[in-house]
Amino acid sequence: MAGVLKKTTGLVGLAVCKSPHKTTEPDVKQSEDQLQGVQIKEVILQVENELSLARKMMQWKPWEMFMKEPPANQWKWPM
């Protein structure tokens, strides 16, 4: 199936990636078969989203808000 170009992913809003295998498997079909039905473009989109979130987390530093002592009554459940 090498040489066959995919025209659509079949997923709304998800375009076919023109070079999804720059450093991995050169045969897109074989890669998708190894992923058991998951399309390469879905994997690329997921990785891009995770990378974007990781960069945002570095800016937001959500772990810093827990570096202070919690208020004395924070963990008390109203009875």
Backbone angles phi, psi at 46, to 5 degrees: -60, -45
Three-point CA angle 5, 39, 48, nearest 5°: 110
Residue 71 within any structural domain of the chain: no
Pairwise CA distance, residues 45 & 60, whole Å: 22
Residue 18 within any structural domain of the chain: no
Residue 32 within any structural domain of the chain: yes
Domains held by the chain: number: 1
Give the containing element (helix H, strand E) for 42. Answer: helix 40-60
pTM of the model: 0.53
For 20-70, the pLDDT digits (tens) are 666 577 787 888 888 888 888 888 899 999 999 999 999 998 878 766 777
Residue 59 within any structural domain of the chain: yes
Residue 34 within any structural domain of the chain: yes
Domain that residue 39 falls in: 28-64
Residue 17 within any structural domain of the chain: no
Pairwise CA distance, residues 52 & 48, whole Å: 6
